[in-house]
Structure 1
Amino acid sequence: MSAPEISLFPLVELQAVSNAHNEWVALIFELAPDAGDSFQATLTLLKTPDVFAALAPLECILPVPQPHLLEQSQLEDLPPNRIILRVPSGACSDVAVQRKLANYAEAGYRIMVEGVAEGSAATMCSARSLMVDASLTLPPVLALVAQSGPHLATGMGSEERIADCAKAGFSWFTGDFALHPSQDSNIGDGTSRKRLLALLGLLARDADSRELEVLLKQDPALAYHLLKLVNSAAFALSSPIHSFGQAINVLGRRQLQRWLQLLLYARQQDDGLANPLLPLAAVRASMMEGLAKQLGWDRDQQDMAFVAGVFSLLDVLLAMPMTEIVAALSLDLDVVMALLDRAGPLGDLLKLVEQPNGADLEQAGISRETYWEAQLQAYHWAIQVSRNI
């Protein structure tokens, strides 16, 4: 594929794709505008050692904006069972493109058409799936039934919209719906809020293990998730753990704090679905810690970076203003500034994690390649967290 030379390591936004149970099933690679040829830029990212192992078992949806230029040699190092080639619907009417994509499909690569192609063009490209912005309108029913799927609905801003799209035939979803939970999904009970804030306060001031035990026993859901976690494959213990005291001893103080901060997001929702905020909080926390380490910050500063990342979604989780949450906790001033105003060194780092751009990365002294490595590690950890909690 001929393409303009890429002078900079590409920046990518990884968009998580969820199924109807809020479980991650795939990642969309969205490249920054300065990446040049987006498929070639994606190949640069995928040359990272063990990248597919890090993102396993998720499938990778790669942009192919010019499928007529795609060559077999570019696909040789990509595992067909993990790759979905995303092509624009407008290119599907080209007979040469149809033949080329059909050949790649025969070799095991799956084709996803972005948008709705005319007539039978998607079928002629051997496409299995459609990727459609269904935020406002749904595609024709015939467009979905013509391919086996799974079909991906983008622009999902709410759980209600996901339900509508699921009825229409979509089974994969992406969007910012996790940041806009329904009222039923929030922790609406005042007693629960107070208990969670109390627990967060104990964690923030490194309270005695016995104090943590008392609060854990008052929260059956949180206690269940903690015991489930320490008995999971993530810790591979020779004998099961049955008490909170044992769990605390096994994890250690530092790890206990981190896992409990994440476990707050794992509380079972009324509908029984996984909380989509959990992996997002894990990504932010891990990226913050990883970038802090790359910047040469000491261990305490790295811990504060982790806390700022994992707490940055508490206002969504608890349906409370961040000012009220921060007022109830004994947090370091740098963490408070980051959470309230995205100010200070931690606030600057949090902004980079939320919305990176080349100029800000350069100003922070973080290379694009370093950012990608932290991003990859963060998604790897978030995948593992989601599977073990």
Structure 2
Amino acid sequence: MSTRPADPSLTANVRDFFLGRQPILDRNQALFGYEMLFRTADSGDANIDTDISATAAVIAHAAQLGLDKAIGEALAFINVDAEVLMSDIFVFLPRDKVVLEIVETMTVTPAILARIGELAGHGFRFALDDVVKVSDQVRQLLPLIDFVKLDLRHMPRPQLVELAHTFRQAGKKLLAEKVESRDDYDACVALGFDYFQGFYFAKPAVISGRKLSPSQLAVIEMMKLITSDADNNAIERAVKKDVTLALNLLRLVNSAAVGARYRIDSLNQAVTVLGRRQLQRWLQILLYAEPSRAGQRTTPLLMLATTRGRMLELLAQRLQPSQRNVADVAFTVGIMSLMDTLFGMSMEDILQQIPVSDDVSAALLNRTGFFGELLHLTESIEQLEDKETNIAPALRDLALSADDLVEAEMAAFEWSDNVVRYAI
């Protein structure tokens, strides 16, 4: 693969950035990939020039960062510009796991077309981002492109319909980004879109008359037994009432995420080895795992909830290392923060049924207090593409560095990926 030497500006300190990870789902609502978002840490604001430089720095240090830990089995969509395309940073990337996003405003030259063709010949795939019309540049790039991304937020519906039809006719995979509601998703499905980017799946929608599944009811019964200090035999009997729950619990406690030193073969042993605190944690996770459909590899809500929980736990451990209970509470806040979506109920109604401390309630309802600040920071990282997102002040308030944040993120991504593999 012929290249020119990487520009020195592309070798900036890999830790001087914020990392975001936007889920991309398929038509079955299963995880397909992530757009990896990088923002320079000096401002935290969305800026295309500095963001591309941050992206280049991350790619150039991919081995140090551990990109595979951030994406698991999914694809990584990464923005590139002309300077990045012409550099030698691609030797650091796993070509079978990466889709390179070309901004449509990039000037297309014969050299750029030749370089994209060369990279495609080596197995890299490309997406065309921010397409608003079928320009001459788009026509030149189209034969080399696998995916076309259309932004719902800034495109009138008639224009969206026309472009979707044009690119489908050209045999391209359509990806809708900035999908913010279930209505957006349904409309794009009808237009033939293949993939969907955004956190619409995590938006709470109160559904009248919705009932919990038998497995979810069994989990909640077990959680009540644990909080009421029931004996191990009673807890074991509760688990055995639901075969799927029992099997999933045993799979989880033998997963890499738990890190048990030897295999756990019985429910009684699981309860004894894990202890009440850890058992409650896995039950909270299993609440999200149960609604997964057959053949669905990764449920996005489970992925997001476990990542949030672990992220809050790790940040709390760093800030208050001598207070183990604080980290446990932080994990619970992260997991519970999506239960309104999971159950189709308001958070107020959930907290009436699941008693929590005032600190946890303040965090979940108002994003206030220590745990609320951690949750708000984590949610801001998830929405890193928004121009108004400014993470630096939140880090200063919590006395955290960008390095602390990225380290916690990468560990949370890896841990969540391990959990999800065993939970469904």
TM-score under structure 1 length normalisation = 0.84
Larger relative contact order (C-alpha < 8 A, sep ≥ 6)?
A: 2
Partner of 1:77: 92
Q: Is the 8 A contact 1:154 1:174 kept in 2?
A: yes
**CA–CA separation in structure 1 for the residues paired with 2:372 and 2:94:** 38
Partner of 1:122: 141
**CA–CA separation in structure 2 for the residues paired with 1:388 and 1:107:** 34
Find 2:22's aligned residue among 15, 22, 25.
15
Shift of 1:174: 1.5
**CA–CA separation in structure 2 for the residues paired with 1:185 and 1:249:** 39
Q: Does the alignment pair 1:339 with 2:364?
A: yes
Q: Does the alignment pair 1:388 with 2:388?
A: no
Deviation track 1:120-143 (CA, whole Å, cap 9, x = no partner) reads 22325x111112224753433231
**CA–CA separation in structure 1 for the residues paired with 2:397 and 2:248:** 41
Find 2:413's aligned residue among 356, 379, 386.
379
Q: Does the alignment pair 1:29 with 2:59?
A: no
Shift of 1:278: 0.7
Letter in 1 for 2:142: T
Structure 2 unaligned blocks of 5 or more = 1-6, 40-44, 382-390
Question: Per the alignment, do residues 189 and 277 of structure 1 end up closer, same or farther by CA in structure 2, a change over 3 Å counting?
Answer: same
Shift of 1:215: 3.6
Listed as ranges, the matches of 1:266-285 within 5 Å are 266-268=289-291, 275-285=299-309
Structure 1 unaligned blocks of 5 or more = none
1:91 partner SS: coil
**CA–CA separation in structure 1 for the residues paired with 2:27 and 2:101:** 21
Find 2:106's aligned residue among 47, 68, 91.
91
Judge which range, 190-199 or 18-27, deviates more. Answer: 190-199
2:412 partner SS: helix
Q: Does the alignment pair 1:291 with 2:315?
A: yes
Find 2:232's aligned residue among 186, 209, 229.
209
Find 1:327's aligned residue among 344, 347, 352.
352
**CA–CA separation in structure 2 for the residues paired with 1:185 and 1:86:** 41
**CA–CA separation in structure 1 for the residues paired with 2:262 and 2:169:** 49
Letter in 2 for 1:71: M
**CA–CA separation in structure 2 for the residues paired with 1:92 and 1:220:** 58
**CA–CA separation in structure 2 for the residues paired with 1:204 and 1:369:** 37
Listed as ranges, the matches of 1:229-268 within 5 Å are 229-230=252-253, 241=265, 244-249=267-272, 251-268=274-291
1:72 partner SS: coil
Find 1:40's aligned residue among 38, 46, 53.
53
**CA–CA separation in structure 2 for the residues paired with 1:185 and 1:173:** 27
Letter in 2 for 1:143: F
**CA–CA separation in structure 1 for the residues paired with 2:84 and 2:264:** 55
Q: Is the 8 A contact 1:186 1:318 kept in 2?
A: no
Judge which range, 246-255 or 95-104, deviates more. Answer: 246-255
The share of aligned pairs that are identical, in percent, is 28
**CA–CA separation in structure 1 for the residues paired with 2:415 and 2:263:** 25
Letter in 2 for 1:11: F
Q: Is the 8 A contact 2:288 2:301 kept in 1?
A: yes
Find 2:326's aligned residue among 301, 319, 322.
301
**CA–CA separation in structure 2 for the residues paired with 1:238 and 1:285:** 25
Letter in 2 for 1:40: S
Shift of 1:373: 1.2
Shift of 1:201: 3.6
Deviation track 1:199-257 (CA, whole Å, cap 9, x = no partner) reads 4444456653334334434555534432443466767998784x532442454433322
TM-score under structure 2 length normalisation = 0.77
**CA–CA separation in structure 2 for the residues paired with 1:358 and 1:144:** 41
Judge which range, 267-276 or 18-27, deviates more. Answer: 267-276
Q: Does the alignment pair 1:311 with 2:316?
A: no
Partner of 1:111: 126
Shift of 1:318: 1.6
**CA–CA separation in structure 1 for the residues paired with 2:227 and 2:379:** 23
Deviation track 1:341-378 (CA, whole Å, cap 9, x = no partner) reads 22211111111111141111022111011101111111
Find 2:69's aligned residue among 54, 59, 75.
54
**CA–CA separation in structure 2 for the residues paired with 1:225 and 1:167:** 35
Q: Is the 8 A contact 2:176 2:188 kept in 1?
A: yes
2:304 partner SS: helix
